[in-house]
């Protein structure tokens, strides 16, 4: 026993020198234990494990001491991060032991300093562990080591944990001691290679896994996309076996590597490497762009496209409005929980990464819902929208175009299909057309229209399309626009039929106009335009004379002139007549009355030409009146002169609704200058005698 211990000590001294140099490097490497390494480790005896162990770690320092209290060598060459003594091995592991037997491991503490240093075990024996201190005492020369011997006497086949605490002149540190009891071993392979897989399809590999260990296995299995594993946890009795299936469901072409983490309930993590290769298939749409016939709103036109393949796998397809694959987003949701769990097991220290992946997945679901909604609201649909194509089968799709508006539709939709990483685009172009209503004319020059005259025009609306055409007329809200009426104003013209609409016009205003009447057809983006133009004129009346010439008139003897007022227009006319320039005073007097009046002597002719005092010498009959359409009326103008001299006046016509002084006719007369009051007296007398 002692001889064996000595030989082992010698071996260890040599190995240590080598190992120390590599230590830093070894610490940096994160060694993942593969199933074969794990199995080998577990099957080793305590001695084999010791001789095989390569990892050297500085021990955990419990407390720093003041070196000056115990030594005059206050400065040490050893880094402050490390204790002065490096233990070997870093951890004491007993395994594959039998109850009631005693096992031992030598523990070396190497003085790394350039001066002699002290190291002392703080006695911590337990029922099962016992430590023998070196006989030479606790002072160790530089570069040499103190050798302790740790004895272990188990009572049961189970795990034991203990720790040894040492103190040097500068620190106290701890060395863990453990005894590994029976362990489960699942005989996984180090590497699982999955069959070649088309993108978005899946392949799987099943292994029969046996528990070749000495304990029941309670385990968890975890991996990440594009791999998945079933079962994800289980219990396996010693010697029993079960099937474990790894599935490979890649979304991108290329090679994929991932770890399958096997976590034993005893705390060990074993990593199995997964590998899968993924390829794209020669799958394409035929044709990849579709131009649909012009289609009436609410009707549909259909085109066919087909999906061709060169593969022998079943293809799953799904049509979407955008290039995002719903499958991917959904599976990413599913996977994210597994990922979180794995991250938790592996490194508890990075919570932000977990948070990020959660945010990411909720974002994609929102996008996805939006996309699906958009697709179902659309005027372009594909049937069937999703399904499966069996190997060597062709799938025909109907692209259905059901326009809701008269416009050009241009859209790209996508077929997400197994075997293609990016969804296959299908460009679609179609034109929606509205009801096709035509007018038999679209311009009307009404030329001259009499004021107040009702005009009527007929227009034909013809529906040449395949769908009914609801229409409505609209006139502009302007002076003349408001003069239009429609009969009927709105309606529906069935396909192939026509309808007559009466457009009425009647204006009480004069002037020329040019109005666009709109025929609004439901479903047509632009209304049809009907242009009406013309000029509203007053009645074009006239007299049968161009002037009213009384010639010479006798003073005080009324003279009447008769003429005719013609109204050749189709509207009646209300008029008033007056003499412009006639006096505004009392009516002139006739010679008869002057003679009768005794005032005659005093009467003098008017010389002052002031209008208000001057008598009104003209009377027009009728002064106001109405001429019916296409008729005439006699007008009597009477002049009873009380003034000596020439008359150059005018008969003016005011037309109701049209204007004042619409027409003027000159009036000429001459009152004899020789007719004096004396002469008038004579004449009057003469008149009485006859
Ligand atoms: C561990 O030890 C065994 C035998 O003791 C040996 O066959 C094996 O190669 C060693 N492994 C390592 C990694 O040193
Ligand atoms: C199981 O235990 C026996 C006896 O203790 C031992 O010989 C054997 O190597 C152990 N097997 C494993 C796989 O640990
Ligand atoms: C498209 O229109 C053409 C002629 O207008 C017609 O011959 C063809 O059958 C139409 N196609 C479909 C799918 O309706
Ligand atoms: C598909 O067709 C190919 C050749 O046309 C044939 O070799 C293959 O067996 C067929 N596969 C199936 C599943 O029918
Ligand atoms: C105009 O009409 C009146 C009444 O009808 C008539 O007496 C007169 O002779 C006419 N004058 C002319 C110039 O025709
Ligand atoms: C003319 O006057 C009559 C009675 O005052 C009236 O009823 C009619 O509407 C008027 N006609 C026109 C054209 O103004
Ligand atoms: C749907 C389709 O195009 N199927 C084809 C799949 O590939 C095989 C082999 O190339 C063809 O024969 C099928 O027609």
Rounded average pLDDT over 185-191: 92
pLDDT of amino acid 340: 56
pLDDT of amino acid 75: 72
Range with the poorest average pLDDT among 92-96, 120-124, 459-463: 120-124
Residue 392 CB–ligand 4 contact under 6 Å: yes
Give me ligand 6 centre to Cα 432, in Å. 55
Residue 391 CB–ligand 4 contact under 6 Å: yes
Q: Which of 2.60.40.420, 2.60.40.10, 3.40.50.2300, 2.60.40.1890 would CATH assign to domain 286-321+378-430?
A: 2.60.40.10
Residues above pLDDT 70, as percent of the chain:
81
User: Would you give the distance in Å from CA 570 to the centre of its chain?
Assistant: 64
Q: pLDDT band at 341, cuts 50/70/90?
A: low
Residues above pLDDT 90, as percent of the chain:
35
Q: Which ligand is nearest to the CA of 561?
A: 5
| Assessment of whether the complete model's pTM goes beyond 0.85 | no
Contact 307, 68 (CB under 8 A): no
Residue bearing the CA closest to ligand 1, atom 4: 48
Alpha-carbon distance 235 to 218, whole Å? Answer: 5
Give me ligand 1 centre to Cα 569, in Å. 129
| Protein fold of 437-537 | Immunoglobulin-like (2.60.40)
Residues in the chain: 690
Rounded average pLDDT over 204-222: 92
Alpha-carbon distance 186 to 236, whole Å? Answer: 9
pLDDT of amino acid 682: 53
Q: Which ligand is nearest to the CA of 98?
A: 2
Domain 183-279+329-356 has CATH 3.40.640.10: no
Burial readout 448-486 (b: 16 or more C-beta within 10 A, e: otherwise): ebbbbbebeeebebbbebebbbebebbbeeeebeebbeb
Q: pLDDT band at 18, cuts 50/70/90?
A: low
Residue bearing the CA closest to ligand 4, atom 8: 312
CATH class of 33-180: mainly beta
Residue bearing the CA closest to ligand 2, atom 7: 96
pLDDT of amino acid 377: 56
DSSP letter string, 641-652: --S-EEEEEEEE
Q: pLDDT band at 347, cuts 50/70/90?
A: very low
Alpha-carbon distance 180 to 163, whole Å? Answer: 14
Range with the poorest average pLDDT among 370-374, 470-474, 577-581: 370-374
Residue bearing the CA closest to ligand 5, atom 2: 563
Give me ligand 7 centre to Cα 417, in Å. 15
Q: pLDDT band at 334, cuts 50/70/90?
A: very low
Rounded average pLDDT over 29-33: 64
pLDDT of amino acid 369: 52
Alpha-carbon distance 123 to 121, whole Å? Answer: 6
Residue bearing the CA closest to ligand 2, atom 13: 213
Give me ligand 4 centre to Cα 309, in Å. 11
Give me ligand 3 centre to Cα 293, in Å. 6
Residue 48 CB–ligand 1 contact under 6 Å: yes
- Determine the atom of ligand 3 nearest the C-alpha atom of 292: 13
What are the sequence ranges of the domains in the chain? 33-180, 183-279+329-356, 286-321+378-430, 437-537, 542-689
Q: pLDDT band at 398, cuts 50/70/90?
A: very high
Q: Is the per-residue pLDDT at 216 higher than 70?
A: yes
CATH number of the domain located at residue range(s) 542-689 in this protein: 2.60.40.10
Q: Is the per-residue pLDDT at 349 higher than 70?
A: no
Q: Is the per-residue pLDDT at 469 higher than 70?
A: yes
Which residues does 637 contact at the CB level (< 8 Å), separation at least 6? 548, 560, 561, 562, 563, 579, 618, 619, 620, 621, 651, 667
Structure tokens at 71: 């030594």
Q: Is the per-residue pLDDT at 174 higher than 50?
A: yes
Contact 267, 215 (CB under 8 A): no
Q: What digits encode the pLDDT tens for the residues 152-170?
A: 998 988 889 888 888 888 8
pLDDT of amino acid 8: 66
669 vs 53 pLDDT, higher one: 669
pLDDT of amino acid 545: 94
Q: Is the per-residue pLDDT at 332 higher than 80?
A: no
Q: Is the per-residue pLDDT at 372 higher than 60?
A: no
Q: Is the per-residue pLDDT at 418 higher than 80?
A: yes
Alpha-carbon distance 176 to 164, whole Å? Answer: 6
Range with the poorest average pLDDT among 253-257, 327-331, 442-446: 327-331
pLDDT of amino acid 276: 93
| HEC-encoded secondary structure of 177-210 | EEEECCCCCECCCCEEECCCEECCCCEEEEEEEE
pLDDT of amino acid 313: 81
Q: Is the per-residue pLDDT at 614 higher than 70?
A: yes
pLDDT of amino acid 26: 41
Rounded average pLDDT over 369-384: 67
> Which residues approach ligand 7 with their CB closer than 6 A?
307-311, 389, 392-395
**Best of 96, 97, 237 for a ligand 2 pocket test (most atoms within 8 Å of beta carbon):** 96
Rounded average pLDDT over 337-344: 54
Give me ligand 2 centre to Cα 149, in Å. 25
pLDDT of amino acid 42: 86
Highest mean pLDDT among 169-173, 621-625, 668-672: 621-625
Range with the poorest average pLDDT among 5-9, 76-80, 242-246: 5-9
Rounded average pLDDT over 45-63: 83
Rounded average pLDDT over 614-637: 92
Residue bearing the CA closest to ligand 1, atom 1: 52
CATH topology agreement for domains 183-279+329-356 and 437-537: yes
Give me ligand 5 centre to Cα 419, in Å. 106
Q: What digits encode the pLDDT tens for the residues 263-318?
A: 999 888 999 999 999 998 888 888 989 999 888 888 889 999 998 766 778 888 88
Q: pLDDT band at 539, cuts 50/70/90?
A: confident
Alpha-carbon distance 458 to 260, whole Å? Answer: 86
């Amino acid at each position: 026993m002692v001889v064996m211990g000595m030989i082992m000590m010698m071996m260890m001294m040599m190995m240590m020198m080598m190992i120390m140099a590599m230590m830093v490097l070894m610490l940096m490497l994160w060694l993942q234990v593969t199933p074969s390494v794990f199995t080998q480790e577990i099957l080793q005896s305590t001695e084999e494990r010791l001789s095989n162990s390569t990892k050297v770690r500085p021990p955990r320092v419990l407390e720093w001491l003041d070196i000056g209290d115990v030594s005059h060598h206050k400065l040490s060459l050893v880094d402050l991060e490390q204790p002065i003594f490096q233990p070997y091995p870093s951890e004491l592991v007993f395994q594959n032991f039998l109850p009631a037997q005693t096992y031992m491991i030598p523990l070396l503490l190497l003085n790394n300093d350039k001066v002699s240093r002290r190291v002392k075990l703080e006695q911590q024996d337990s029922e099962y562990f016992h430590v023998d201190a070196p006989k030479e005492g606790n002072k160790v020369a530089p570069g040499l080591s103190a050798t302790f011997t740790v004895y272990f006497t188990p009572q049961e086949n189970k795990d034991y944990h203990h720790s040894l605490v040492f103190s040097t002149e500068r620190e106290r540190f701890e060395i863990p001691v453990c005894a590994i009891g029976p362990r489960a071993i699942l005989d996984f392979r180090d590497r699982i290679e999955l069959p070649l897989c088309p993108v978005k399809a899946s392949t799987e590999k099943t292994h029969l896994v046996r528990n070749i260990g000495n304990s029941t296995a309670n385990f968890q299995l975890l991996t990440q996309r594009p791999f998945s594993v079933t079962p994800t946890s289980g219990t396996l009795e010693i010697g029993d076996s079960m099937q474990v299936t790894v599935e490979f469901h890649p979304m991108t072409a290329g090679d994929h590597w991932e770890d399958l983490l096997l976590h034993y309930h005893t705390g060990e993590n074993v990593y199995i490497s997964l590998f899968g290769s993924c390829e794209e298939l020669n799958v394409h749409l035929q044709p990849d762009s579709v131009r649909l016939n012009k289609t009436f709103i609410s009707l549909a036109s259909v085109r066919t496209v087909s999906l061709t393949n060169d593969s022998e796998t079943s293809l799953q397809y799904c049509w979407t409005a955008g290039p995002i694959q719903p499958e991917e987003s959904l599976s990413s949701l599913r996977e994210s929980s597994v990922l979180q769990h794995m991250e938790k097991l592996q490194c508890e220290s990075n919570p932000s990464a977990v948070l990020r992946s959660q945010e990411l997945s909720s974002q994609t679901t929102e996008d996805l819902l939006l996309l699906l909604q958009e697709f179902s609201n659309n005027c372009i649909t594909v049937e069937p929208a999703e399904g499966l194509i069996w190997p060597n089968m062709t799938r025909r799709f109907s692209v259905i175009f059901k326009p809701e508006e008269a416009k050009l539709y241009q859209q790209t939709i996508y077929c997400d299909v197994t075997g293609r990483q990016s969804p296959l685009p299908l460009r679609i172009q179609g034109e929606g057309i509205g009801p096709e209503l035509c007018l038999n004319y679209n311009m009307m020059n009404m030329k001259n229209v009499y004021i107040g005259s009702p005009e009527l025009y007929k227009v034909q609306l013809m529906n040449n399309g395949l769908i009914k055409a609801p229409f409505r007329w609209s006139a502009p809200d302007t002076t003349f626009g408001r003069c239009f009426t429609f009969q009927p104003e709105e309606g529906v013209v069935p396909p192939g039929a026509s309808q007559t609409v009466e457009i009425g016009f009647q204006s009480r205003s004069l002037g020329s106009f040019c109005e666009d009447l709109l025929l609004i057809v439901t479903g047509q983006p632009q209304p049809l335009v009907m242009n009406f133009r013309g000029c509203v004129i007053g009645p074009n009346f006239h007299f049968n004379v161009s002037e009213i010439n009384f010639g010479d008139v006798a003073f005080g003897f009324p003279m009447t002139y008769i003429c005719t007022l013609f109204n050749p227009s189709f509207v009646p006319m209300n008029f008033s007549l007056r003499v412009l320039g006639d006096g505004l005073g009392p009516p002139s007097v006739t010679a008869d009355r002057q003679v009768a009046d005794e005032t005659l002597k005093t009467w003098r002719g008017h010389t002052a030409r002031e209008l208000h005092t001057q008598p009104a010498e003209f009377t027009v009959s009728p002064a106001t009146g109405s001429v019916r359409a296409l008729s005439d009326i006699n007008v009597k103008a009477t002049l009873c002169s009380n003034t000596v001299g020439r008359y150059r006046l005018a008969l003016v016509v005011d037309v109701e609704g049209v204007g004042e002084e619409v027409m003027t006719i000159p009036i000429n007369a001459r009152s004899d200058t020789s007719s004096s009051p004396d002469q008038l007296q004579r004449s009057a007398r003469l008149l009485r005698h006859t």
